[in-house]
Amino acid sequence: KYVFYDLLRTIFFGSKDYIENANKVKKLLDENIKKLKSGNRELIEYLAHLYLGRLYEKGGRAHYKEALKYYNLAIDAAPSSYDFDDSNWFRLNLECNYDFPSFMTHFSSTIPKWDNHEWYEDIVAKTVMNLVSKKDYKTLLSFYKLIEKTKLEEQKAKVKYILARIGIIEKKKLQST
């Protein structure tokens, strides 16, 4: 598994021809997956799906659906909670960049499955920054209601402060918590 992981990292970081590399990984997977022992097969499929998603994402917006497909396969095949958080983060990041309504839906539906809430800290901060810069306070309030369900206390406090400063929530509520 470590050799395969190193191979995927080399393919991902070693060339900027992401789509050609994705096709090579798919071919390698298709030709060899049935030859592997059961335990290794699941892990290698997970890793291949995750890196295929990353390669397609690097290929740009035109490859959004392919990237999403492989991130979903990686999420479904995640052998551990760590791997779930990892692949879920990549999917959320992709959706945040290209399909924000899907991001909001998926963000909300996966919160109960998160093992390590801190894993998502940066994507929450990025989303808040984007919404504030666009002055999309209605969506920011909706997003705040979602992050209230998380264990991201610092992010909750930051968003609550922003919402109070712009008058979306009462400042009294800010002081009472």
Q: Looking at the predicted structure, is the pLDDT value of residue 78 above 70?
A: yes
Q: What whole-number distance in Å separates Cα of residue 97 and Cα of residue 54?
A: 14
Give per-residue pLDDT as tens, 3-44.
Answer: 666 777 777 777 788 898 888 888 877 777 767 666 677 888
Token pair for 49: 């799906």
Three-class DSSP category at 83: helix
Give per-residue pLDDT as tens, 105-160.
Answer: 999 999 999 999 999 999 999 999 999 999 999 999 999 999 999 999 999 999 99
